[in-house]
């Protein structure tokens, strides 16, 4: 299946209620509805983004430059008025920051595959909020192409400490973020 066929096939998928579909480097990833820790974390982030300057979009599909990826980040931050006024996809060029909240099943996708996809598409800031490790990882300065793309700067903040989001001109509070207490640490810490 070529890129155009894969995108067309993906666009025709209608997952059942409570299931999210994402296209990541030609693979279709289905995930169940997030839990309360996840939803409260996203809500906390949305509440801190100044609406007069920024739009914080949830469940927004992003059109990545590689042609076979259409992720649905937990939060897409754009300048107010940036991007199209209608349609399914937000172009990655219009995105200032993407936020993913790690779930029990998304660790490798959020820390690995999505990281390189977002870097290859030039997304300036990628924030990984990780309730498993009780920390936030802010990645900036994307470089490279394809699977080798990565962010050059990594800043890790434990929950309870602020995350300076210089691209947005704000500092995010993490004092209200909840952590999972019953999961083993992972290799991405």
Q: Which tens digits make up the pLDDT trace of 101-132? A: 998 889 999 999 999 999 999 999 999 999 99
Residue 37 CB contacts under 8 Å (≥ 6 apart), including other chains: 131, 178, 179, 180
Q: Which CATH number fits domain 34-172: 3.90.1570.10, 3.40.50.150, 2.60.40.10, 1.10.3720.10?
A: 3.90.1570.10
User: Is the pLDDT confidence value at 175 over 70?
Assistant: yes
pLDDT above 70: percentage of residues in the chain: 98
Q: Answer with the residue of higher pLDDT: 189 or 172.
A: 172
CB of 92 closer than 8 Å to CB of 82? no
DSSP notation for 8-65? HHHHT--PPTTEEEEEETTEEEEEEPP-HHHHHHHHHHHHHS-TTTEEEESS-EEE-T
pLDDT-derived band at 67, boundaries 50, 70, 90: low
The domain limits of the chain are 34-172
Closest CA to 97 of 38, 149, 23, 172: 172
- Report, as an integer, the average pLDDT of 1-23: 78
Task: Report the pLDDT value the prediction gives residue 30, as an integer from 0 to 100.
Answer: 80
What's the pTM? 0.90
Q: To the nearest whole number, what is the mean pLDDT of the chain?
A: 91
Rounded to an integer, the average pLDDT of 144-149 is 93
Phi, psi of 155 (to 5 degrees): -130, 125
Asked whether the predicted pLDDT for residue 182 surpasses 90, the reply is no
| Helix or strand run (H / E) with residue 115 | helix 114-120
| Helix (H) or strand (E) run with residue 113 in it | none
Q: In this model, does residue 69 exceed pLDDT 90?
A: no
Helix (H, G, I), strand (E, B) or coil at 158: strand
Bridge partners, 28 (sequence order): 23
pLDDT range class, residue 19, cuts 50, 70, 90? confident
Q: What is the rounded distance in angstroms from the CA atom of residue 81 to the CA atom of residue 79? A: 6
């Amino acid at each position: 299946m070529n890129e155009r066929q894969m995108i067309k096939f993906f666009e025709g998928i209608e997952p059942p209620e409570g299931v999210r579909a994402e296209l990541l480097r030609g693979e279709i990833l289905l995930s169940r509805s997030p839990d309360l820790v996840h939803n409260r974390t996203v809500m906390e982030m949305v509440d801190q983004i100044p609406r007069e300057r920024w739009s914080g979009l949830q469940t927004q599909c992003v059109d990545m430059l590689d042609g076979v990826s259409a992720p649905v980040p937990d939060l897409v931050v754009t300048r107010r008025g940036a991007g199209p006024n209608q349609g399914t996809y937000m172009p990655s060029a219009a995105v200032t920051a993407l936020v993913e909240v790690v779930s029990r099943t998304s660790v490798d996708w959020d820390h690995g595959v999505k990281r390189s996809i977002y870097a290859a598409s030039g997304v300036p800031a990628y924030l990984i909020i990780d309730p498993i490790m009780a920390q936030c990882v802010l990645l900036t300065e994307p470089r490279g192409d394809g699977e080798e793309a990565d962010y050059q700067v990594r800043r890790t903040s434990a929950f309870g400490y602020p995350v300076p989001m210089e691209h947005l001109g704000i500092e995010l509070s993490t004092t209200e973020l909840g952590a999972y207490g019953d999961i083993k640490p992972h290799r991405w810490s």
